Amino acid sequence: MKIGTYQLNSQVMLAPMAGITDQPFRQLCCQLGAGLAVSEMVSSNPKVWNTEKSKLRMIHDAAAGIRSVQIAGSCPDELAFAAQVNADNGAQIIDINMGCPAKKVNKKLAGSALLQEPELVERIVQSVVNAVNIPVTLKIRTGWCENTRNGIEIAKIAEHNGIASLAVHGRTRNDFYKGNAEYDTIKAIKAAISIPVVANGDITSPDKALQVLSYTGADAIMIGRGAQGRPWIFREINHFLATGNKMQAPTLSEVRSIVLAHVMELHQFYGDFKGVMIARKHVSWYVHNLVETYEGFSEAFNNDQGKAFRAIFNALSSPEEQLATLDKFFDDFATNSF
């Protein structure tokens, strides 16, 4: 699949997720097979760009693959300016967020709230596309609610105004993340436009990836929550799509290396204090995935000991303590000492 002049090396992308798809996680997912990893959402409001959070989100490093930066807002001029600033800072693709369902975003008429305003959508797309000389992509949901599912209308606006590719999450805004994603609307959108379409929502396995690609006719798929604690899902899907065969789960030794390297990268990127805080949620997802995937955990660990480990890990306050505790965790796992 191509986005503008950029040829992706995989049909599987990492979806932008606030507080998750930071530079360390994007870099890791690209190393493990993601064809594109879209950044965390960056506000189009220049007044917040001097915050520590925004400064970190606006670091665009080549190590994280093709640099796709997602911007959010409701003012066409502000979004155009944000696109220009990020392009000047090294972004190679600008992605416009019209899919976020969060109330704090929607109350500013940003994110998926924009789906209620097709005329504003068109002005925003025109403004951003005309502001930069790099590809502009768009992320949407199927509509605001079940009774106003207007994904096809928005998709046609996107195509007619220069959007290079369109990612669609198979839920309305009112669905948030409840229930099951539906793919009929994504299939209809793909049939209605000629630009590349990326399907998103509830894709958590190679089988589901193939099913969604086959059913919708989408050009690629986007993985969000399915990559949390399992960033190797990208290479698993790539292998299955290419060969029809399932990859074996990574060895415990490889998982250990991935987790420790990821946690160390978080410490380095954010600094000791914030890095320790952010590592906690990632380690919780890794541990949950290990329990689901690997034999060797005692029933006690799955229950009381698992809760105890998370409580202990979440109370640690230094990088050294976190790394030492993880080392012991994997040693105990290898010897079935739980």
246 labelled as ligand-binding? no
Q: Judge whether 336 is annotated as a binding position.
A: no
Query: Are the C-beta atoms of 236 and 23 separated by less than 8 Å?
Result: no
Residue written as token pair 């929550």: 225
CB 100 within 8 A of CB 114: no
Residue 224 among known ligand-binding residues: yes
Query: Residue 175 is which amino acid?
Result: D
Is residue 202 marked as binding?
Answer: yes
3 state SS for 210-232: HHHHHHHCCCEEEECHHHCCCCC
Question: Annotated binding residue at 92?
Answer: no
Residue 121 C-alpha from the chain's centroid: 22
Element (H, E) at 95: strand 93-98
HEC profile of 127-195: HHHHHCCCCEEEEEECCCCHHHCCHHHHHHHHHHCCCCEEEEECCCHHHCCCCCCCCHHHHHHHHHCCC
Task: For residue 22, report the phi and psi dihedrals to the nearest 5 degrees.
Answer: -75, 180
296 is in an annotated binding site: no
Full DSSP string of 222-261? EESGGGTT-TTHHHHHHHHHHHS-PPPPPPHHHHHHHHHH
Please give the helix or strand (H or E) that residue 12 lies within, else none. Answer: strand 12-14
Q: Is 46 annotated as a binding residue?
A: no
> Taking the chain, what is the end-to-end CA distance rounded to the nearest angstrom?
46
* Number of other CB atoms surrounding residue 249 within 10 Å: 15
How far apart CA 195 and CA 15 sit, in angstroms, is 19
With beta carbons less than 8 A apart as the criterion, state whether 222 and 15 touch: yes
Q: Which residues contact 197 (CB under 8 A, 6 or more apart)?
A: 155, 165, 166, 167, 168, 186, 189, 190, 216, 217, 218, 219
User: Could you list the active site residues?
Assistant: 100
Is there a binding annotation on residue 102?
A: no
**Binding annotation for FMN:** 16-18, 70, 139, 200-202, 224-225
